[in-house]
Amino acid sequence: MRLKHMNSRERLLTALDRREADRLPATTHHLMPYFLDTYMNGMGEDGFFDCFGLDPVMWVWDQKPDESSGDYWTLIEAGAVGGGKRWITSDNWRIEVAAVSGTRNRATRYDIVTPAETLSMVLEESGQSVWVVERLVKQKSQIALIEKYAPGTLCDLAAIDRKAEAMGGRGILRGAVPGFAIYGQPGCWQDAAVLYGIQALIMETFDDPQWVHEFLEILKRRKLASVASMEGARLDLIEHGGGDASSSVISPKIFEEFVAPYDGEIITEAHRVGLKVVYHTCGAMMAILEQIADMGPDAMETFTPSSLGGDTDLKEAKTRIGDRVCIIGGFDQAHFLQGCTEAETRRAVRRCFANAGAGGGFILSPSDHFFDADVELIRAFADEARQCRYDV
């Protein structure tokens, strides 16, 4: 019996509820401006999803300052790395921006002026991506400045409501647990790794675990307040986690002690305010599959295959945790969205469906974003996914 046709929103939400949709939902992860400009003639994200017939996911980051606390918007000039947008600041957390000379790529220094001390962070970009070259937290005592002076972020419910109305049945809205404003990650451990450096942070779990817990507790409290402000938001999914908690980077023991207690509490708060959560772990994750699922997320990603530096056995992952979470990702975008035949791309889609599609609860997606891809192979990816039905 052929199932009733679903629109993209219905299809994605059905999968997130771990049920069978009319067919395999297929989308992508973070459309990169470089790809859209280079390969799609500057096409917008809506145009991309329409062009290929993929199930749209709109990423929204709508926040607002807590004006009652004296916070306000500051526009960061477009010429700065990471600039061209408004950031939440205050008189006790002023941001000053300056170009850095003598670097291979364009770089920008951000000085954050507080009443006690000025913190600094440097970002660099290549035209494809942005990364941190100077960490904000250089002395352990500086985490107290974040706790005392850094503005919080509130969810802009009205802005999200407008986008939900415009989206309709075309797809879903996806937000995130806010990371540190200049450059950060949703997860507590991952945010700390950005601010302090992952190698240094790992060493401190052995040398000064009490300080690491103090740092994570500060970040957790800030994130809990942000998530609490999302109550009533018409978000279908929010992202949590990040790659620095993958088992490519840390051990299951560090995950158990320094990741799960903090990120799990945020997932609980998200559920309290009515939001679904996807936990993002790009990299290896087979050693910590159950530990992630035990935190209670509704979905997990990215299920990176070994051909991309991960370790995912998609079939085994489905067997171990597929009855507990929706699986998102699993597709090797580096080898099957460029440099191969359409038939190879289609076979890769079918393998993913065979390994993780049974019973629903699987959303096909590249296992992370991509910068370069063959347009015709994306078309083959989308078309083959449409043919993966649950009623045949």
Provide the token pair at 108.
């920008």
Q: Report pLDDT for 392.
A: 65
Q: Report pLDDT for 3.
A: 65
> How many angstroms separate the CA atoms of 66 and 151, rounded?
8
Q: Report pLDDT for 49.
A: 96
> How many angstroms separate the CA atoms of 180 and 110, rounded?
13
Q: Report pLDDT for 86.
A: 87
Average pLDDT for 341-350: 98
Contact 162, 190 (CB under 8 A): no
| Lowest-confidence segment of 70-79, 188-197, 285-294, 297-306 by average pLDDT | 70-79
Residue carrying structure tokens 């936990």: 279
Contact 55, 11 (CB under 8 A): yes
Q: Is the pLDDT of residue 50 over 60?
A: yes
CATH numbers and ranges of domains, the chain: 8-63+151-386 (3.20.20.210), 66-149 (no CATH)
Mean model confidence pLDDT for the chain: 95
Average pLDDT for 238-259: 97
Q: Is the pLDDT of residue 2 over 70?
A: no
Burial class (CB within 10 angstroms; exposed 0-12, middle 13-18, buried 19+) of 68: exposed
What's the Cα-to-Cα distance from 326 to each of 3, 18, 94, 318, 354, rounded to whole Å? 20, 6, 41, 9, 15
Direct distance between the N- and C-terminal alpha carbons of the chain, in angstroms, rounded to an integer: 8
Q: Report pLDDT for 188.
A: 98
Runs of H (alpha helix) within the chain: 8-16, 33-39, 45-52, 143-149, 157-167, 188-196, 198-207, 209-228, 252-254, 260-272, 289-294, 314-321, 333-336, 342-356, 375-386
> How many angstroms separate the CA atoms of 213 and 106, rounded?
35
Q: What is the DSSP letter of 361?
A: -
DSSP letters, 228-261, are: HTTTT---SEEEEE-GGGSTTTS-HHHIIIIIHH
Give the tens place of pLDDT for each residue, 223-240. 999 999 999 999 999 999
Give the tens place of pLDDT for each residue, 137-180. 999 999 999 999 999 999 999 999 999 999 999 999 999 999 99
Q: Report pLDDT for 36.
A: 94
Q: Report pLDDT for 258.
A: 98
Query: In percent, how much of the chain has pLDDT > 70?
Result: 99
Q: Is the pLDDT of residue 82 over 90?
A: no
Give the tens place of pLDDT for each residue, 259-307. 999 999 999 999 999 999 999 999 999 999 999 999 999 999 999 999 9
Taking the model in full, what pTM does it have?
0.96
Give the tens place of pLDDT for each residue, 354-373. 999 999 999 999 998 899 99
Contact 150, 116 (CB under 8 A): no
Q: Is the pLDDT of residue 1 over 60?
A: no
> How many angstroms separate the CA atoms of 49 and 168, rounded?
15
DSSP letters, 96-122, are: EEEEE-S-SSEEEEEEEE-SS-EEEEE
Helix axis angle for 342-356 and 314-321, nearest 10°, is 20
> How many angstroms separate the CA atoms of 5 and 11, rounded?
9
> How many angstroms separate the CA atoms of 43 and 58, rounded?
15
Q: Report pLDDT for 84.
A: 78
> Judging by DSSP bridges, how do beta strands 72-75 and 86-89 pair with one another?
antiparallel
Q: Is the pLDDT of residue 207 over 90?
A: yes
